[in-house]
Structure 1
Amino acid sequence: MRVIAPGDFGVVTVGSLHAGTRDNVIGDRAVLELNVRAHSPEIRQKLLASIEQIVRAECPASSSPKEPTFEYHAVFPPTNNDAELTGRVHAALEAALGTEHVETMPPATGSEDFSRIPDAFGVPTASGPGAVPAGAAADCQPPSQVRARHHPTLEMGTSESKAEQTATTRFDIVGLLVFMITGALLSNFAVNMTIGMLIVSQQMLQLARPERFDAWHAGLLTLGFAIAVISCIRIGEKLLQRFGPRKPMMWGAMILGLCALLLMQTQLLVGTYVVLALIAYVLFGLGLAFYAMPSTDAALSNLSPAQSGAGAGIYKMASSLGAAIAAAASLAIFTGVMGSGFTTGWIFEMQGIQSNARVRTAGMLTMGFNLLLTLLALLSVALTVPKGRKEG
């Protein structure tokens, strides 16, 4: 059935059909999604009316118990380019490129909402590729449809641009590989691994003196850590602005090393150890606050804007992996030493109750492992992060 004249343009595309969920169940619903394109509102309206007519007729023919419903979305009227304005652009292009290098293209069927702007303000406009009314004059096409067959600048620059893009891509890959082995990234991984100190020290207190420490009371001791991180994070930013990234990163690693040393003193009486643990947890938060902002700056400052997104992702991955591996590594050492029965009685005399010597020894050696991690972080910063004050 023909509803539009042969010379008129109109297209109906069946883009999507969804009906039913199983092969042996008759679906209670069918959704048909269509796309309609035309060069004039009149043709479009004819197409829509025909679609509704056909669907309404098919429903009772198929014994549908309900009437069909129609929803319209993403509806954009044709773009009517101003004849005078488009003609002036056409003439300007011919004057600049030569008549032989300019070609008028036929009406296009692109889908865009530009036509709503001139309709709203009532101003003459000329848009890029889009639908125009059938029968429009040849010089009333959008200016971007008046194309040049040859553009000297673009043609001459093609091979050079590809070479530059290839070189840039190679540079980006090399830059990211260098970034992945920099001291900032390695130290970031090591610093985040020291989170195992918090986990193991909490476990050790609960196992060594269960009558005094449950999970709640042991966890309360780490409150100073959270307060220190939140309240001192801006200090790291100020230190970065004044000294650059290297010194604050080294100071942060040193503070974390001091934290590990304090938590290693498991040979002391529990009351004394709790005091040292309270101080160590505050220092842990302070060290991370000193380290975080300068470390991020040192890791990403040498990357190009195109690399910064990937670099930030790799940096965050190092942080997350360090924290995740920390729990596994520190707990593995702690439980392994505790189960082996090894004690340090021949080096350190455990004060107080001796029945928990294995637990305290395991805690001491685990803190020693974390101390080595802080030394690794400190060494990587000292060897790879350049000296100097941050510019800008």
Structure 2
Amino acid sequence: MQHHEPRPHAVRTLLVHRSRRGPSPWWHSCALATIPTPLSADNVAQISGDALALHNAGFDTVLVTVNDPVLLVHPSSPLPEFIHQLKARHQRVIVRIPNETFVSLGVRGADMENRVTTLLLRTRGALNAGADGVDLGVCAEEYEDSPVRRALARERFTSLVRQVEAECATFDSQPIVTARLSGFDTPAIVSHLEDEWFHHLHDDALLTASFDAPSLELVVSDSLSIRDRIGAVAPWNVDCLPADRQSDTDRALTLLALGLPGVFHGRLREESVVEQVSAASYIRTALALRSERKLGTHALGVLHGLEWARPDTLVYLNSDVMIVVNTADQPLALPPGSQILVASSQGSDGVVAPRSCAWVSVARIQPAPTAEFSD
């Protein structure tokens, strides 16, 4: 029997996420941007302009904050017309409703009946205005300090969320319910997803990881696996900062997030960022490719053993796009003939710049032609 020595560069593909069968609803893979300025009766035109700029860049969904509850219930509110304008150009709208309902839920004497009434009125107001979903903000236990109050807030929060979801179920448009947890606490994420069935439960997975290949690979795998087990969708959240405060690493994480299956969520922190994000060529190009190649719903594999990749390189395969993250302080040379589709930082031809991410085209394998035989 002959023994063959293993090849020194045997390439292995580890499946991280399977694609779902059949058509997927919009919220499985939307490109979402949070508009930083809350909507008011005085700035509707400005917010509509922000949403249009983001739509033109490729964001098909926006999250708009409404801090004034009057906008959710007043018959002359500008909210319905605002949402109608956005939906006329095929842009979906999630409305973040005022969150004081969830503050101090851990207090024993909290007036739960009044909170339920208030929450459902605001939810109904947003949905009657045409919203595609409601965002509840930060999960209630994060407002509490003591373990006892956190536990009570958590229990009451679950009850309130289920009533919101029951209200949403009465609408034919099938609106979604979303919320957020700070950090990346996997047991807490699983617990909330199992108890409250959020369509999107946002977290800070990518932002908590160190910018090195093993850490990023682990956090992406964990984020997908805990959701895949229960059929949930992974939202990838990144902070979009002003250009003068955005590092190479920030841009690399943004491009990585754009290439992962699930929801891309750009959290725009300041008004000036709207124009900058909308004009950023790498974001516009990536959003177009993401939509065209359906990267939000494809399977994802991580590649190990590539001859040209160093230990500080992370490589994913999504559809026919190879996502290369170079976490090193040195440039990374790609194989000859590689076609870079988009990069977070510009390097020379065939080179991924230090501390950056690039998407590389992968040739589709065509089936061999079938031979025709005649009798």
- Report the TM-score, using the length of structure 2 for normalisation: 0.19
Kindly indicate which of the two structures has a greater share of residues assigned to helix.
1
- Report the TM-score, using the length of structure 1 for normalisation: 0.18
- Highest CA radius of gyration, 1 or 2? 1
Kindly indicate which of the two structures has a greater share of residues assigned to strand.
2
